């Protein structure tokens, strides 16, 4: 019988939400992970989000909030970086903000273990 070699671990730099999410996905596919972080405790900058993580349509907020409001709030927060961008750059930023707003509920659910 042919034995399959264990793949080398994927190195993930940083243990914030992005790093932990990447590690979780890889592990769920039985891919080994080696996580590196410069801090003595895991969490990265995400650990500093004591007032919450922005999102829309999550189970943690009022029902009157929605993706459109989150999109507009994010555009407003971007300020000059958004309003003074070239039309091509503005279109790219709009697409990115739209993705952030529309997928934030799923990301929030995954972050708290509701994958």
Domain ranges of the chain: 8-41, 54-115
DSSP-assigned beta bridge partners for residue 36: 13
Q: Model confidence over 73-91: pLDDT tens digits?
A: 999 999 999 999 999 999 9
Quick one: angle between helices 17-28 and 87-111, nearest 10? Answer: 60
pLDDT at 5: 79
pLDDT at 15: 92
pLDDT at 60: 77
Q: Output 76 or 113, whichever has higher pLDDT.
A: 76
pLDDT at 81: 92
Is residue 115's pLDDT more than 80? no
């Amino acid at each position: 019988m042919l034995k399959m070699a264990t793949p080398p671990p994927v190195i993930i730099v940083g243990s914030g939400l992005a790093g932990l999410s990447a590690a979780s996905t890889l592990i769920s596919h039985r891919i080994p992970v080696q996580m590196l972080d410069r801090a003595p405790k895991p969490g990265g900058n995400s650990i500093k989000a004591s007032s919450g993580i922005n999102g829309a349509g999550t189970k943690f907020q009022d029902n009157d909030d929605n993706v459109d409001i989150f999109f507009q709030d994010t555009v407003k927060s971007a300020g000059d970086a958004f309003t003074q961008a070239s039309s091509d750059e503005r279109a790219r930023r709009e697409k990115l903000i739209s993705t952030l707003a529309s997928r934030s509920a799923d990301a929030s659910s995954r972050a708290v273990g509701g994958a």
